[in-house]
Amino acid sequence: MTRSTLWCALALLAPLASGALAAEHFCGQTTAHPIDKALAAAAERSGGVTVDLRDAQSAAYAAWDKELNRIYAQALKAAGPTRRDALRAAQRAWLAFDTAQGQWDAMLHADQGTSAALNIAGAALERRRTRMCDLSMDLQSLKDSE
């Protein structure tokens, strides 16, 4: 592991270990999202053990993915027939981007040893979290325009 790779891994793990993610506000809210709180608590309990951190990331990824699907379904319904196809196209494009970015992340972090899995999963987790925020704001805009 190179020195720069080590620093990158430490930088990505530090917020998890310190619980900083739990203090981070989600999508303009005044508090952290419950998924972020659960991830921070699990990361704290892990004691920095890679496999336990990955388990925590996997649980958070599944939770964000479920939440993303729930909000997407609500947005589709709220979009109505005139805007539904555009939302579907946007979501399909995002999914293609997510897949391609995941492949790039795997290549980018391939030489980082045991921290590679954490870095790749952390990036995927953040993409889900960001998309969830975007769709939540879109849904709110649709509701506000009714």
Q: Other C-beta atoms within 10 Å of 41: how many? A: 14
Find out whether 98 and 35 touch, Cβ atoms under 8 Å. Answer: no
The number of domains in the chain is: 1
Assigned domain for 14 exists: no
- Mean pLDDT value of segment 98-123: 95
Assigned domain for 61 exists: yes
Range of the domain at 98: 33-144
Assigned domain for 25 exists: no
Q: Other C-beta atoms within 10 Å of 47: how many? A: 9
The DSSP output letter for 24 is: S
Cα(120)–Cα(98) distance, integer angstroms: 12
Q: What is the pLDDT of residue 24?
A: 67
Distance in Å from the first CA to the final CA of the chain: 55
Has residue 16 got a pLDDT over 90? no
Assigned domain for 70 exists: yes
pTM of the model as a whole:
0.80
Q: What is the pLDDT of residue 70?
A: 97
Assigned domain for 82 exists: yes
66-93 pLDDT, tens digit each: 999 999 999 999 999 999 999 999 999 9
Angle at 8 between CA 7 and CA 12, to 5 degrees: 115
Residue with tokens 């391939």: 110
Assigned domain for 26 exists: no
Q: What DSSP letter does each residue of 121-141 carry, written as one string?
A: HHHHHHHHHHHHHHHHHHHHH
Assigned domain for 17 exists: no
- Mean pLDDT value of segment 141-145: 93
Find out whether 24 and 18 touch, Cβ atoms under 8 Å. Answer: no
Has residue 55 got a pLDDT over 70? yes
Assigned domain for 3 exists: no
